[in-house]
């Protein structure tokens, strides 16, 4: 992983090498460790966001491939803010956001990937998972909702599932928004102090915060076991929101540039086409 250098890191500097053991304590949560000029970063971010809107429009027009973005984080990690800021200005017809909350009785009666597979973005769209199938190796582990031998088998199920999506034309990017425990406390206090944010706070936030030291090993194993060439994990320093937004926009735009979506060829010869009832010049 990158550390402070004289050069601004590239789009993929936060990508985890597949197969390596992950130690989150060794990875910085501070965006300032990677970029020390907020004004410059925000200017670049706005340019990238404009380019993202154009690339998303081309993806929608091409209609043959899709991009799936997975966002995971501890509570107050910034998933909602990332979606709101990075995707502002894109065509809503071509973006699909799915939030995975506590499973319903109907969902619990199926396999754990059933509700996830139904939410995979169709061709031509960008799908965003606000939480995801990884809750089924995180929450269920920490809160002991299923036996250990069951959630451990799910790592391979997830890798196979993501391989299937990749082989079917879905490009996958997975972001873990890495915040410090101190930063989480600041954000919780901010929610409590501002009436317009209090609705986001719940008793469960306090419960999960009390389990912080149990969630970190769970995340480390998920990042280690399910980081692959076809569905890589990126650990994004997220204490500074402006850097989080920039880092994620860089990766998404870089990925779409590589995909290079193209506007389709018109089905008719447009230069000689004539609208019914129009007059010749």
Average pLDDT, the chain: 91
Would residue 48 count as lying in a domain? yes
pLDDT attached to residue 210: 86
Would residue 151 count as lying in a domain? yes
Question: Please, what is the Cα angle at 104 between 102 and 106, to 5 degrees?
Answer: 150
The domain of 102 spans: 24-259
Would residue 58 count as lying in a domain? yes
Would residue 159 count as lying in a domain? yes
**Global confidence as pTM:** 0.90
pLDDT attached to residue 279: 63
Q: What does the alpha-carbon distance between residue 211 and residue 45 come to, in Å, rounded to a whole number? A: 34
Q: Is the pLDDT of residue 271 over 70?
A: no
The number of folded domains in the chain is 1
Angle between helices 212-225 and 203-210 (to 10 degrees): 70
pLDDT attached to residue 5: 35
Would residue 220 count as lying in a domain? yes
Residue 221 CB contacts under 8 Å (≥ 6 apart), including other chains: 137, 155
Q: What does the alpha-carbon distance between residue 78 and residue 86 come to, in Å, rounded to a whole number? A: 12
Would residue 11 count as lying in a domain? no
Q: Is the pLDDT of residue 10 over 50?
A: yes
158-201: pLDDT as tens digits: 999 999 999 999 999 999 999 999 999 999 998 887 776 666 66
Would residue 4 count as lying in a domain? no
Give the pair of three-digit tokens for residue 94.
């071509």
Would residue 167 count as lying in a domain? yes
- Domain of 196: which CATH number? 3.40.50.300
- The dihedral built from the CA positions of residue 34, 35, 41 and 42, taken in this order, carries a sign that is positive
Smallest Cα–Cα separation from 255: which of 73, 16, 69? 69
C-alpha 86: how far from chain center: 11
Q: What does the alpha-carbon distance between residue 147 and residue 45 come to, in Å, rounded to a whole number? A: 44
Give the pair of three-digit tokens for residue 275.
């609208």
23-74: pLDDT as tens digits: 999 999 999 999 999 999 999 999 999 999 999 999 999 999 999 999 999 9
């Amino acid at each position: 992983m990158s550390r402070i250098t004289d050069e601004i890191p590239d789009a993929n500097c936060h990508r985890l090498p597949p197969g390596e053991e992950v130690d989150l304590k060794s990875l910085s949560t501070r965006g300032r460790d990677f970029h020390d000029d907020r004004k410059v970063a925000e200017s670049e971010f706005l340019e990238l966001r404009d380019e993202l809107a154009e690339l998303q429009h081309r993806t929608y027009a091409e209609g043959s491939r899709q991009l799936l973005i997975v966002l995971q984080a501890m509570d107050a990690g910034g998933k909602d803010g990332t979606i709101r800021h990075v995707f502002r200005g894109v065509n809503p017809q071509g973006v699909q956001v799915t939030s995975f909350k506590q499973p319903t009785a109907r969902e619990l009666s199926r396999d754990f990937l059933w509700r996830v597979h139904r939410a995979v973005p169709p061709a031509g769209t960008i799908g965003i998972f606000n939480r995801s199938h990884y809750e089924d190796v995180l929450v269920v582990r920490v809160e002991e909702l299923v036996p250990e031998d069951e959630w451990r088998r799910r790592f391979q199920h997830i890798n196979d599932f993501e391989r299937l999506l990749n082989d079917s034309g879905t490009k996958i990017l997975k972001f873990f928004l890495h915040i410090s425990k101190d930063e989480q406390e600041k954000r919780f206090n901010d929610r409590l102090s501002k009436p317009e944010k209090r609705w986001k706070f719940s008793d469960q936030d306090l419960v999960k915060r009390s389990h912080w030291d149990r969630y970190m090993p769970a995340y480390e194993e998920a990042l280690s076991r399910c980081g692959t060439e076809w569905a890589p994990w990126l650990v994004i320093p997220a204490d500074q929101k402006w850097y989080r937004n920039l880092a994620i926009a860089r990766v998404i735009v870089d990925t779409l540039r590589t995909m290079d979506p193209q506007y389709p060829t018109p089905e008719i010869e447009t230069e000689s086409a004539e609208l019914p009832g129009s007059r010749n010049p």
